[in-house]
Amino acid sequence: MHYSRNSPIASEHRYLASTAVLLVELVKLLTSLTLAAHDVRKSHPNASFFEIVVLLRRSIFAPDSWKLVVPAALYTFQNSLVYVAISNLDAVTFQVTYQIKIITTVLFSILLLGRNVSSRQWMSLILLTLGVAMVQIPGSLSSEDWKGKLTSLIQGEGRPEMKPTSNALKGVMAVIAASLTSGLTCVYFEKLVKGSLGSVSLWTRNVQLSFFSLFPAFFVGVLWQDGAAISRHGFFVGYNAIVWLTIALQALGGLVVAVCIAYADNVAKNFAASLSIVVSYAASAIVFGTPLMLHSTGGATLVLIAMYLFNTRLYPRMPLLPTTKEKHHIGPTSGLSVVHFMPLK
């Protein structure tokens, strides 16, 4: 994605992000629709093509399909908040602050899913948030840079290099709201998918989500945000093989995230996403020759430590040992003495 947005292009205009977002949702919709049809085919092997289409339509537009309108609307609202945040914050402040979504996801998992998180896991989540934020800080920042950032946040004023109308406090409030919305949306989708896996397939839910996401992607992004530019330069202006590859990877990533949420959870997804940031950091050094910074390397180390702390036990699991009250009885046929072992608690 970085290469597609910054590499030299043959045309005068770079591709519009809103068109790419719409195409990603279309690819996800078609792929999920194909997989959902395959599930229907497996459950009804003797059904004709027309019968499969009817069954698929009934499952997609079931009475509870409206529930997917909520995450689709929340995703759109989240993107709008991110746009407000980026418009009023510099990139570093935005990237660091937006990692709050790791914590908000866990909080909503506790509230909506009743998940239990130990104190050791909370410590690992804090380390994960800090580590991801450190990795995403570009270059080296002096103490004066951080002093200026804190001053702008406290006074509610934008940095001098940004446009005069920028407001740092407004940007921070927007990014915090976006983090809350992100956590709520992910956990709501997880609850909806896991609560209906027995009756509705994962791919049917993905079809519903992608279908309802098309409307805000088209009306808000393509028409309202970039409608004038599209009318002047065309829908596919700036498209090349790299752009299409980026769209395919984004669609595949969305499908993999859905599988992760359905068969694991959002916490595992956040750890996987954090690990991907570390991999991207290392890959950028290899592919683009980006120098390795001390704080970013330290942040990558914190991410790996956090993953270890969250997914391992503090003490090894105790072996099965006999209790103080051993139960003996004679086997009915062998004549051997049998001892029942129970785990110590």
Residuewise pLDDT in 10s, the chain (345 residues): 767 877 777 767 888 888 988 999 899 999 999 999 998 998 888 888 899 999 999 989 988 888 888 888 887 788 778 867 877 777 667 777 888 888 999 999 999 988 888 888 899 999 998 988 888 776 655 555 555 555 555 555 444 444 444 577 888 888 899 999 989 988 998 888 888 877 788 899 899 988 998 998 899 889 988 899 999 999 999 898 999 999 999 899 889 988 888 888 888 888 888 888 888 888 878 887 777 788 888 888 998 899 888 877 654 444 444 444 444 444 444 444 444 444 444
Q: Which residues pair with 339 in a beta bridge?
A: 328
| pLDDT of the residue at 324 | 45
Alpha helices in 160-240 (DSSP H): 168-196, 202-216, 227-233
- Predicted local distance difference test score (pLDDT) of residue 137: 75
Query: Would you state the pLDDT for residue 145?
Result: 57
Output the pLDDT for position 165. 43
pLDDT of residue 325: 45
Question: What whole-number distance in Å separates Cα of residue 46 and Cα of residue 48?
Answer: 7
Per-residue pLDDT at 170: 84
CA separation (Å) from 176 to 93, 147, 183?
A: 12, 21, 11
- Which DSSP state fits 334? T
- Specify the pLDDT at position 319: 47
pLDDT for residue 228: 92
Interacting residues of 173 by C-beta distance below 8 A, sequence separation 6+: none
Calculated CA dihedral for residues 26, 28, 33, 38, nearest 10 degrees:
150
Name the CA radius of gyration of the chain, rounded: 25
Contact 258, 90 (CB under 8 A): no
